[in-house]
Amino acid sequence: MMKNAKNKLILTIAVVLLLTIGVFSGCIKEEAETGKIRYGGQYYPGEFLLEGKNFWNEYDLTVEHTLFSSGTENNQALISGDVDINCGSDSKTVSLFNSLPDDAVILCTIQQGNRYSTMVKTDSTYQTWTDLVGKTVATRLGTGAEQVLRRYFDQNESLSWDDFTWVNLNVEDMASALDAGSIEAFTAWEPTPGIAEAQGIGRVLRSYGDIALVPVCLHTTLDYAKEYRDEIVKFLAAHLDKEELIKNDPEQAAELAAQAASDAGIEVSSEAFLTMFNRIDFTLELNSEILAAINDTAQFLFDQEKIDSIPTLRWDDSFLKEARELREK
């Protein structure tokens, strides 16, 4: 059962975009127990699908699913023992390992690739960032969106950050600002672009999977991994079932996710979820490319003086291998 730590959301199109930054608190402190996992999720598209279809039942696993407003809060929940497993983007993986250098472990990814997109008005003539030089554009500073933009400009010799007038906007304000014409483009993470596209407000100028994979990983602690191996394997098997549904029947996955969001008092259309499911790679995996992407992010953050040191990553892909075997039985 998904446990929200905030009771009410004001339902407007603008606040629907608040999904990724709404204010949520952690769950009440409990102890880990056999047959149950306390999972710290975030407002990612796949998290709603996990609510729309109870994939855990197939494996006789109880999951307490708490959505956090930010990766920072989610990391703190894992550090303090309020959750057993959490998810977080590459920058939050780096932060977690700087906080728990001797205890954190990566299990696998749950999404990667085109998680961030730059949106322009549907009827605009803009085709590339070059067309936007000198224009007023928006993002949320201090987030992964700013990170991928700066990495994009670092790799493009003909463009620089200073070629544009930047506005620091909350994601819930971006679509309305674009629609009103106060900005010419915005860059944000899903579900903001997908919702704006489904509403007919904007279209994608570019996404950034080719600039940085920005993988979202599942993490746990060494102690939990040692004591609750069976629970983790079942947990990942359910995530693999989720991945399969998104790949084989994205329309049904979108309908289930939209209904789950609606049941939680959040209106996001199935069309918006379908856009997200088709845009993002939801493959569960753990390989050298993923680890290199996280290390690249750590190096970038270090070079930008956002972190004091580059952590040493720790991972264990044996859980995912066993989860695949479990599904074949």
Q: What is the percent of the chain where pLDDT is above 70? A: 91
Q: Name the amino acid, one letter, at 159.
A: L
Q: What's the pLDDT at 24? A: 34
Span 142-148, average pLDDT: 85
* Per-position b or e across 39-76, b if 16+ CB within 10 A of its CB: bbbbbbbbbbbbbbbebbeebebebbbbbbbbbebbbb
* Residue pair 44/87 in contact by the 8 Å Cβ criterion: yes
d(CA 208, CA 302): 21
d(CA 185, CA 124): 10
| Arithmetic mean of pLDDT over the chain | 89
d(CA 12, CA 205): 25
Span 60-86, average pLDDT: 93
Q: What's the pLDDT at 143? A: 79
- Select the CATH number that applies to the domain covering 2-113+213-328 from these four: 3.40.630.40, 3.30.920.30, 3.40.190.10, 3.10.520.10: 3.40.190.10
Span 155-168, average pLDDT: 96
Q: What's the pLDDT at 170? A: 87
**Among 325, 233, 221, which residue's Cα sits nearest to residue 35?**
233
Span 43-54, average pLDDT: 92
**309 or 144, greater pLDDT:** 309
Q: What's the pLDDT at 71? A: 84
φ, ψ of residue 183 to 5 degrees: the values are -135, 155
Q: Name the amino acid, one letter, at 201.
A: I
- Residue 28: pLDDT above 80? no
Domain ranges of the chain: 2-113+213-328, 116-207
CATH number for the domain whose boundaries are 116-207: 3.40.190.10
Q: How confident is the model at residue 31 (pLDDT cuts 50, 70, 90)?
A: confident
d(CA 130, CA 145): 19
Q: Among all chains, which residue has been given the structure tokens 């939801």?
A: 282
**Among 85, 134, 19, which residue's Cα sits nearest to residue 239?**
85
Span 164-172, average pLDDT: 93
Q: What's the pLDDT at 249? A: 98
134: left (phi over 0), alpha (psi -120 to 50) or beta: left
**130 or 264, greater pLDDT:** 130
* Residue pair 191/268 in contact by the 8 Å Cβ criterion: yes
Q: What's the pLDDT at 23? A: 33
- Residue 29: pLDDT above 70? no
Task: Indicate the Cα dihedral angle 240, 244, 245, 249, nearest 10°.
Answer: 170
Same CATH topology for 2-113+213-328 and 116-207: the answer is yes
* Residue pair 143/114 in contact by the 8 Å Cβ criterion: no
Which H, E and C letters describe the chain, residue by residue?
Answer: CEECCCCCCCCCHHHHHHHHCCCCCCCCCCCCECCEEEEEEECCHHHHHHHHCCHHHHHCCEEEEEEECCHHHHHHHHHHCCCCEEEECHHHHHHHHHHCCCCEEEEEEEEEECCEEEEEECCCCCCCHHHHCCCEEEECCCCHHHHHHHHHHHCCCCCCHHHCEEEECCHHHHHHHHHHCCCCEEEEECCHHHHHHHCCCEEEEEECCCCCCCCEEEEEEHHHHHHCHHHHHHHHHHHHHHHHHHHHCHHHHHHHHHHHHHHCCCCCCHHHHHHHHHHEECCCCCCHHHHHHHHHHHHHHHHCCCCCCCCCCCECCHHHHHHHHHHHC
> Could you give the angle at the alpha carbon of 60 between the alpha carbons of 227 and 34, nearest 5°?
25
Chain segment 196-232, per-residue pLDDT in tens = 988 899 999 999 999 999 999 999 999 999 999 999 9
